[in-house]
Amino acid sequence: MKANMKAKKWLGQNFLKNKITLREIADAAEISSRDTILEIGPGHGELTEILASRAKKIVAVEKDADLIRLLREKFQKQKNVKILQGDILKFHLGYSDEFLGHSGRYKIVANLPYYITSRFLRIFLSDKKLRPALAVLMLQYEVAKRICARPPEMNLLALSVQAYGRPKFVKKVSKKYFSPEPKVDSGIIKISEISDRWFKQNDIAPEKFFEILQAAFRQKRKMLRHSLKKFPIPEIFSEKRPQELPLEDWKKLINYRD
C-alpha cells in the first residue's frame, strides 16, 4: 500500500515529513522505556516509528480507514505498537481502559487536526480517567501561542489549560514541512504536570471556575465589574479586564466572599 496516499481534506490531514522536527516532538515527550504513549493521528507512521523505538508501548488512534490498513501492515511485526481505528473525541466512551489502563500515567503525542483542538483539550484535561501525565501537541501556530499566553494577553483557552497543567511553547514549525502544505504554520507545545491539583488545593469547583471565566470572556472588552456584576469580586479587580489576570488572580477572585 502506498505510504504517500493523498491526504483527505475533510479529516484535516496534513502529514509532517521533516525528520528533524519528528525527532524533536519525540524528544519533548521525554520518553522512557517504561512509558505508554497515546499517539493521535499517526498518519503514515513516521513519528510512530520513532516513538516505538523509545517507549514500552504505543497506542496509535487513527480515524482514516485507509491509513489504518497501511499502519497495521507497516507495524504488524512490532509487538509494542497497537493501531486502533476511531474518533479520538469518542475515545473515552469505552475502548481506552484495555490499552492504557486506569492509572492515567501515560503520555500523549499528537498532530491534532486544527478543528478538534478545543474539544480534545477539554476531554483529556478534565476527565480524571483519561488525564495523561504529559502531552506534546502539534497545533496551529496561533492556537499554540494562545495556550501559552501571559497577561495582558490571557484568554479562555489559556486559562483552561493552565489550570490543569504547565504549557510551554517548544517550537514553531513552518507549513512547508507538511504535505499537503497547509495555509498556516504550526507550533509544538508541551503540557506537563497535568492534574487537578490546582482546583483541589484552592477548593475551587471546575464548574464554578469555568462559569465565571466564560462570563468574563464573553464580554472581554469590559471591565470585570461590568461583565461579572452577578458575582462578588474584590475591589482590586473591578477595573481590570479578563485578559489582564493570571491564573493566580482568578483564584483570589473566585474564592472572594463579600
Half-sphere exposure of 185 (CA within 13 A, CB side): 10
- 9-30 per-position pLDDT tens digit: 434 457 888 999 999 999 999 9
Indicate whether 103 pLDDT > 60: no
Question: Highest-confidence range of 32-36, 99-103, 230-234, 242-246, by mean pLDDT?
Answer: 242-246
Rounded to whole angstroms, the Cα distance separating 104 from 112 reads 20
Please check whether the domain covering 200-254 is classified as CATH 3.40.50.10890.
no
CATH T-level fold of 9-195: Rossmann fold (3.40.50)
Q: Are 247 and 163 in contact (CB under 8 A)?
A: yes
pTM of the model: 0.90
- What are the tens digits of pLDDT across the range 132-191? 999 999 999 999 999 999 999 999 999 999 999 999 999 999 999 998 888 999 999 999
pLDDT of residue 115: 85
Going from N- to C-terminal start, the domains of the chain cover 9-195, 200-254
CA-to-CA distance for 161 and 142, rounded, in angstroms?
Answer: 15
